Amino acid sequence: MPDTDRPQLCLITPAEIDLETFSDALGAVVDAVETACLRIALATRDEDRIARAADLVRLVAHDRDIPVVIETHVQVAERHGLDGVHLTDGARSVRTARKALGADAIVGCYCGHTRHEGINAGEAGADYVAFGPVGAVALGSGTLADRALFDWWSAMIEVPVIAEGGLTAALVEDFAPVTDFFAVGDEIWRAEDPAAALKALLAPIL
């Protein structure tokens, strides 16, 4: 049985994927490390490419009983049999997404480093909130979601919380007691062996 006290993995796709080869790469990663959820997070705005990626990821994930959410695109989630949506605008779209996808869908959202935004998302019915980045990243304002935020959240709020952005093995070890999930993406996909990179990153909780 999995250790339910340790954080689980939410795996994020790369921003760009090769539709011809990604299925095998993704399968290798989720077979290497137990994965609780897959998040499709593509940079492209090409509707056909997003749709094809959604189908590809869904097939890999559902074959292993892993739920799939997609960033932002509520209609794609609905049309392509995904399990829900990951919103990137905090609490603002939670109720709209819930109405579109129904009570059983997963609706989560990224709330940056703002406790108030997270509380609003939870009150709006989000299934989880994500805070980040927790480590240094090249883009964005540079403001981090610190451990104190997660410590407070895990003590006070029942809505599950995800730590993401700029993760290192040291941060995984540090944040493990105060988060329910780690969302991992960019940290591993540039490696020659993403599965090995993921194992190394999550070594403190594996």
pLDDT of residue 3: 44
Give the Cα-Cα-Cα angle 192, 195, 200 (nearest 5 degrees).
95
The proportion of the chain whose per-residue pLDDT surpasses 90, expressed as a percent, equals: 93
Cα→Cα distances 22→16, 39, 64, 102, 131, Å: 10, 14, 16, 30, 27
Residue 1 has pLDDT above 80, yes or no: no
Q: How far apart are CA 178 and CA 198, in angstroms?
A: 20
Q: Which amino acid, 182?
A: F
Domain boundaries, the chain: 8-205
Cα→Cα distances 193→14, 19, 196, Å: 14, 18, 5
Report pTM: 0.95
Architecture in CATH for domain 8-205: Alpha-Beta Barrel (3.20)
Q: What is the DSSP letter of 16?
A: S
